[in-house]
């Protein structure tokens, strides 16, 4: 930076600032500012031309006034004029004023752009840096359009100075974040990768940040960066601190660059080249070894820099998930941090171990730290650390330690912070069900859960326990006895009354032989809670009473008296009144046979995945679940939106919500069968069927096929043009499946548009077991067809063949894009060609519900833009379809007409075939 001369001190500015500071009141400050603004305005409008120094001084004063919180509505042109000055200080103030005060929509942008172009072409490194900083600070779309093609040329030019390269890389990074569709990918991409070999570490650091962002967008264009990143990382971790003296921070060599290189490597799978992979493993081992060395300084900056590199290295080890030795070492290193005196380190260690617990290689190593984690749960002062401890206990739980972990969580629940109680309740309910060998333990656990934290037990939890009790004959008598005993407590939570009413109404006859739990005792016990309950619970108890009339004719008169009372027949609540009237009339006129038929025991519920998982995911967010990867490593960058399906029936209320959420992939060593599939209530036909294909347009999880033998479920994750699909095959029979094999076939055209790679599947599926297969998907270009999954196996000596159409649609490769109203309409006008727009008007197939429509559009993959459409009832969305060859921007508008029960869907994209396909897919969802 050029030296500042004495004349640049701007004494007038210093005096003005001093006057402001000396003001005794707000009124005095405003008066002084108004006086100065009047003086500056008169100077700007005066006949005498101002020299550069005066302009700079007055513009500086305006900038200071603005920073004090006052509006500035003049002086912009004078600031723009300063850009043409050849003096550094004048040009610097001009750019500073523009960066802070000039709106991206200003009429002066064209003049500013011309000045920036002149400075970029000047080859003066100081002026070029100022111009690049201004572009990055303003970051408007107009500037991106003007300079997005120029900046890459500056970046890779051989004669560009190092400081300018740094600024150019960071400027391009900023433009890529604000206007990714305007940054062109060209021959410069191959050359920018080689900046990782630059001698100047500042250039390497800036280039690594840029390449990491671009690699997430177009991984194939930057895959050569892996070898260069590994080589540079190797040189850093093996160097002594004196080798990189200018970039050594408290005895840690280039910590920021190391972290950025490790993050870049997390954009790619482990290197296939053996020597490169070996060198990377050596780097990671060196980082782990250095963590064990005694600290070279006692200052916190040293430990922070050292640990930053260590945690990023562990993140890379977890991301690759392929080196058992490194995973176990990482786990042991994190285990040491669990007892560290620094709270932040304990938090990060717990968070990283949550992810390690989901790896088959390190799960057992994580389990060895269970006592330490339990101790953290009991003794930690920071609630966020305790919450991470709960997450880790949940992630490390399996059949061997489930009872211990559930017991500890229940014990902690009594004193837990209110903010995390609901989450702990959900996790306890999930673990108790998932690892219940003895279902009496499961019933005891859930009832204990309701007793300890009844206010935090959601409907999904008590719905699920009733569903399981009804489906398992061996636990019904025990459940009835247990809830009967629990209801005898003087104070019962309302959720316990609901469970008790339902279970005794169904299975009270199983304990009626005991005089202590005779029919009349059961009824009196339930009715003693009636007046304390809310209306929905009273309605459920009335249904239990009519069930009692069928089970126990001897209490019929007592129950009829209750139903006949004025408090029921003339109840202010319509639902309670209607139930009382109908149940009383039914008990009076129906014969015993009719009564037994109408009020027969509830049939078993279809086996399905618990809705509690979906409740937990909705509460935590998909990126926060302990057994899901960090969003940086996750294949799916968007939040999953699932829909609740409620089935309500008269009689005992059982609106059982059923939402699918496969929130983790089971480890290969796991032998338990959890029915991870969804909400279907009738088997799919045995032949290959496309019946459930449309359901997957707006969701990624669910059952795609089911017959009497086999159930096939899917969990899919997508990021940009890449996807991963987990296929779960569940054997529903009591016989093994032999010679089990699968293959994915596509049409010749689809083979050029979509790459699907399948990993081998176990050829033997035990009775009642399930196996998992992973399909890796790459979208090469836009497509309209779908691949077919062919399954073949032997069952009972007979060869079975099944063909299933895989729900891989074009919208799965959407990346949601947030836009302002102005940007949206500007882009909408640009896509105004007839072939770019597709419009369809269609009749609504389902009820027109705003929340459901919003959830479907989010599930479709676009970002919903609020406040863009003048009509608030309309939906406006934006996104980018990512393929290997290109990116296609998409804008949509959905206009519902509730009176006519019609929709109008308008889609505009830069490619006609994409518009047509997206319109076909989305219009079928409403």
Chain segment 859-906, per-residue pLDDT in tens: 888 888 887 888 888 889 999 888 888 888 898 888 888 888 888 889
Q: What is the DSSP letter of 807?
A: -
Band (663; pLDDT cuts 50, 70, 90)? very low
Amino acid 657: pLDDT: 29
Q: Are residues 527 and 563 in contact, defined by beta-carbon separation less than 8 angstroms? A: no
Cα distance between residue 507 and residue 642, in whole Å: 33
- pLDDT by residue (tens digit) across 503-521? 999 999 899 888 898 999 9
324-337 and 274-292 helices, crossing angle to 10°:
20
Q: Catalogue the E-assigned strands of 427-539.
A: none
Q: Is the pLDDT of residue 174 over 80?
A: yes
- pLDDT by residue (tens digit) across 846-868? 878 888 888 888 888 888 888 78
Kindly state the average pLDDT of the residues 28-44.
Answer: 91
Q: Are residues 661 and 701 in contact, defined by beta-carbon separation less than 8 angstroms? A: yes
Rounded (5°) CA angle 439-608-450 = 45
556-564 and 535-551 helices, crossing angle to 10°:
150
Q: Which two tokens stand for residue 463?
A: 């719905």
Residue listed under structure tokens 């004090």: 68
Cα distance between residue 190 and residue 239, in whole Å: 28
Residue listed under structure tokens 């129906």: 590
What is each CA distance from 622 to 318, 630, 632, in whole angstroms?
18, 9, 12
Q: Are residues 744 and 806 in contact, defined by beta-carbon separation less than 8 angstroms? A: yes
**Among 141-150, 607-616, 840-849, 852-861, where is mean pLDDT lowest?**
607-616
Q: What b/e sequence results for 524-547 when a residue is b if at least 16 CB atoms lie within 10 Å of its CB, and e otherwise?
A: ebbeebbeebeebbbbbbbbbbbb
Band (653; pLDDT cuts 50, 70, 90)? very low
912: CB partners within 8 A, 6+ apart: 835, 836, 838
- pLDDT by residue (tens digit) across 47-96? 677 888 888 889 999 999 999 888 888 888 888 888 888 899 889 999 99
Cα distance between residue 58 and residue 79, in whole Å: 9
Amino acid 616: pLDDT: 67
Cα distance between residue 759 and residue 772, in whole Å: 10
Q: What is the DSSP letter of 737?
A: B
Nearest Cα neighbor of 550 from 499, 490, 610, 590 is: 590
How far, in whole angstroms, is CA 74 from its chain's centroid?
Answer: 45
> Of how many residues is the chain composed?
926
3-class secondary-structure state, position 789 = strand
Cα distance between residue 532 and residue 500, in whole Å: 15
Between 690 and 446, whose confidence is greater? Answer: 446
3-class secondary-structure state, position 726 = strand
Cα distance between residue 610 and residue 661, in whole Å: 8
Rounded (5°) CA angle 620-621-626 = 65
Amino acid 43: pLDDT: 87
Q: How many CA atoms lie within 13 A of 677 on its CB side?
A: 25
Cα distance between residue 149 and residue 162, in whole Å: 20
Helix and strand numbers (H, E) in the chain are: 38, 18
Cα distance between residue 183 and residue 213, in whole Å: 12
411: CB partners within 8 A, 6+ apart: none
CB atoms within 10 A of CB 154: 23
Percentage of the chain exceeding pLDDT 70:
89
What is each CA distance from 897 to 739, 841, 865, 903, in whole angstroms?
54, 10, 19, 6
């Amino acid at each position: 930076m050029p030296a500042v001369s004495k004349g640049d001190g701007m004494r007038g500015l210093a005096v003005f600032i001093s006057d402001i500071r000396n003001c005794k009141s707000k009124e005095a400050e405003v008066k002084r500012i108004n006086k100065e603004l009047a003086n500056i305005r008169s100077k700007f409008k005066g006949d005498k031309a101002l020299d550069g120094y005066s302009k700079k001084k007055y513009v500086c004063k305006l900038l200071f006034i603005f920073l004090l919180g006052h509006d500035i509505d003049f002086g912009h042109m004078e600031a723009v004029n300063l850009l043409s000055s050849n003096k550094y200080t004048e040009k610097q103030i001009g750019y500073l004023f523009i960066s802070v005060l000039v709106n991206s929509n200003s009429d002066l942008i064209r003049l500013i752009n011309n000045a920036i172009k002149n400075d970029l072409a000047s080859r003066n490194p100081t002026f070029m840096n100022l111009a690049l900083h201004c572009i990055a600070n303003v970051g408007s779309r107009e500037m991106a359009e003007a300079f997005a093609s120029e900046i890459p040329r500056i970046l890779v030019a051989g004669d560009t100075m190092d400081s300018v390269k740094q600024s150019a890389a960071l400027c391009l990074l900023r433009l890529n974040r604000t206007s990714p569709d305007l940054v062109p990918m060209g021959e410069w991409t191959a050359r920018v990768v080689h900046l990782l070999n630059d001698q100047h570490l500042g250039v390497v650091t800036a280039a690594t940040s840029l390449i990491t962002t671009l690699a997430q967008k177009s991984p194939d264009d930057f895959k050569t960066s892996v070898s260069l990143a590994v080589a540079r990382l190797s040189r850093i971790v093996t160097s002594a601190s004196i080798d990189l003296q200018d970039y050594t921070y408290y005895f840690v060599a280039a910590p920021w660059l190391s972290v950025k290189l490790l993050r870049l490597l997390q954009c790619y799978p482990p290197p296939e080249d053996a020597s490169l992979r070996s060198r990377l493993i050596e780097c990671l081992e060196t980082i782990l070894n250095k963590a064990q060395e005694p600290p070279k300084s006692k200052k916190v900056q040293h430990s922070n820099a050292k640990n930053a590199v260590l945690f990023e290295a562990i993140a890379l080890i977890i991301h690759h998930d392929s080196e058992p030795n490194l995973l176990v070492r990482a786990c042991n290193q994190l285990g040491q941090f669990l007892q560290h005196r620094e709270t932040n380190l304990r938090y990060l260690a717990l968070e990283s171990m949550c992810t390690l617990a989901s790896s088959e290689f390190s799960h057992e190593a994580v389990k060895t730290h269970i006592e330490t984690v339990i101790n953290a749960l009991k003794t930690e002062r920071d609630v966020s650390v305790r919450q991470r401890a709960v997450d880790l206990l949940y992630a490390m739980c399996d059949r061997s330690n489930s009872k211990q972990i559930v017991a500890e969580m229940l014990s902690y629940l009594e004193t837990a912070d209110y903010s995390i109680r609901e989450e702990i309740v959900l996790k306890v309910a999930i673990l108790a069900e998932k690892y219940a060998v003895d279902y009496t333990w499961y019933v005891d656990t859930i009832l204990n859960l309701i007793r300890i934290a009844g206010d935090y037990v959601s409907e999904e939890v008590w719905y699920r326990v009733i569903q399981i009790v009804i489906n398992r004959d061996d636990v019904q008598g025990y459940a009835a006895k247990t809830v009967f005993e629990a209801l005898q407590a003087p104070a019962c939570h309302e959720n316990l009354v609901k469970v008790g009413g339902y279970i005794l109404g169904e299975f009270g006859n199983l304990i009626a032989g005991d005089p202590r739990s005779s029919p009349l005792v059961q009824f009196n016990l339930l009715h003693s809670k009636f007046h304390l309950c809310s209306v929905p619970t009273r309605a459920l108890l009335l249904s239990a009473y009519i069930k009692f009339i069928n089970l126990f004719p001897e209490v019929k008169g007592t129950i009829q008296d209750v139903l006949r009372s004025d408090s029921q027949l003339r109840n202010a609540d319509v639902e309670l009144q209607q139930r009382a009237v109908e149940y009383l009339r039914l008990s009076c006129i129906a014969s015993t046979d009719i009564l037994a038929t109408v009020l027969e025991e509830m049939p078993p519920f279809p086996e399905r995945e618990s809705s509690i998982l979906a409740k937990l995911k909705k509460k935590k967010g998909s990126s926060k679940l302990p057994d899901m990867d960090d969003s940086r490593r996750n294949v799916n960058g968007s939040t999953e939106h699932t829909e609740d399906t409620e089935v309500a029936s008269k009689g005992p209320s059982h609106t059982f919500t059923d939402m699918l959420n496969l929130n983790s992939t089971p480890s290969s060593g796991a032998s338990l069968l959890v029915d991870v599939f969804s909400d279907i209530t009738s088997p799919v036909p045995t032949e290959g069927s496309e019946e459930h294909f449309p359901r997957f347009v707006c969701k990624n999880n669910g059952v795609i096929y089911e017959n009497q033998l086999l159930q096939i479920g899917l969990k899919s994750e997508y990021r940009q043009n890449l996807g991963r699909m987990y296929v779960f095959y569940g054997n529903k029979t009591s016989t093994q499946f032999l010679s089990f094999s699968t293959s994915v076939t596509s049409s010749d055209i689809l083979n050029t548009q979509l790459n699907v790679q399948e990993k081998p599947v176990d050829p033997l599926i035990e009775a009642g077991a399930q196996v998992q297969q992973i399909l890796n998907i790459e979208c090469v270009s836009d497509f309209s067809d779908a691949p077919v999954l062919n399954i073949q196996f032997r069952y009972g000596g007979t060869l079975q063949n099944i063909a299933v159409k895989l729900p891989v649609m074009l919208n799965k490769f959407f990346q949601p894009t947030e836009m302002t109203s102005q940007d949206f309409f500007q882009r909408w006008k640009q896509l105004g060609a007839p072939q770019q727009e597709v419009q369809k008007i269609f009749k609504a197939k389902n009820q027109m519900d705003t929340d459901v429509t919003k959830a479907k559009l989010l599930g479709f993959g676009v970002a919903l833009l609020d406040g863009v459409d003048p009509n608030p009832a309309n939906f406006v969305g934006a996104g980018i379809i990512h393929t290997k060859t290109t990116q296609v921007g998409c804008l949509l508008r959905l206009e519902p007409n509730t009176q006519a029960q019609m929709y109008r869907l308008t889609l505009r994209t830069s490619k006609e075939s994409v518009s047509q396909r997206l319109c076909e897919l989305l219009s079928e969802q409403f």
